[in-house]
Amino acid sequence: MLNIILCGAPGCGKGTQSALLVEKYGLKHLSTGDLLRAEMQSGSEVGQKASEFISQGNLVPDAMIIEILLKAVDTYSKDAAGFILDGFPRTVEQAIALEKAFEERNNKISFLIDIQVEREELITRLLKRGETSGRSDDNLETIKKRLEIYEEKTAPVNDFYKGLNKYFAIDGIGQIEEIFGRISSVIDSSK
């Protein structure tokens, strides 16, 4: 199975690239942000708990998101050729839990791809997205908070995967197809 973590700061293009990867490699896309927004829309207890964290730009608690992610993995494992994990893991604790859970399921994470985009460009993209996304967290104050949290909590996940020799970085600036080409080269050369 090909199980890829797509990592990078908010606004780096993870969602856009995931959609293209689904098409080319037949992988199942699991976005923890999308899973949480679906919970919020349904008005579930989990969704209600998550909404405050999300609208303030904070991460939801590890235990909550690990449970949501693994439930989705178990739901789709039988039919999927593999997974693209988008927005997970966002802390080293989540990464450790993910590695352990996949091992217990006789599966493994293939590698992490880090889509690199500089801060000013991320802010420009997210503000633009905020004009139409309707997301409670696409405003300047919350965007800055999310970028700070990315540096503090999520960037160490990259180091964790470097330590496992499962880390690849690509340049996230350019045309969508161009960036997709860079990601595809990493995947194809790993086969």
Catalytically active residues, by annotation:
14, 90, 129, 135, 146
Point out which span in 56-64, 101-109, 126-134, 175-183 binds ligand AMP (CB under 6 A): 56-64
Count of CA atoms in the C-beta half-sphere (13 A) of 111: 18
Using CB under 6 A, pick the residue from 137, 143, 161, 167 that binds ligand AMP: 137
Q: Indicate whether 65 belongs to the interface with ligand AMP (CB under 6 A).
A: yes
Cis peptide before 89 (omega within 30 of 0): yes
How far separated are the first and last CA of the chain, in Å rounded?
Answer: 11
Q: Which is closer to ligand AMP, CB of 58 or CB of 107?
A: 58
175's tokens: 């045309």
13 is a contact residue toward ligand AMP (CB under 6 A): no
* C-alpha dihedral, 33 to 35 to 37 to 40, nearest 10°: -140
Query: Could you say whether residue 29 binds ligand AMP (CB under 6 A)?
Result: no
Which window, 86-94, 95-103, 115-123, 181-189, contacts ligand AMP (CB under 6 A)?
Answer: 86-94
Least CB distance to ligand AMP at residue 62 (A): 7
Q: Which of 53, 96, 102, 170 binds ligand AMP (CB under 6 A)?
A: 53
Is the Cβ–Cβ distance between 113 and 186 less than 8 Å?
Answer: yes
Residues 146-175 that bind ligand AMP (CB under 6 A): 146
Q: Which is nearer to ligand AMP, 122 or 185 (CB)?
A: 122
What does the DSSP assignment read for 127-185? Answer: HHHHHHH--TT-SHHHHHHHHHHIIIIIHHHHHHHHHTT-EEEEE--S-HHHHHHHHHH
Strand pairing class (111-116; 167-171) = parallel
**If you compute the radius of gyration of the chain from its CA atoms, what whole number of angstroms results?**
16
Among positions 4, 7, 8, 10, the unique one binding ligand AMP when judged by CB under 6 A:
10
Residues that bind ligand AMP (CB under 6 A): 10, 32-33, 36, 53-54, 58-60, 65, 87-88, 90, 94, 137, 146
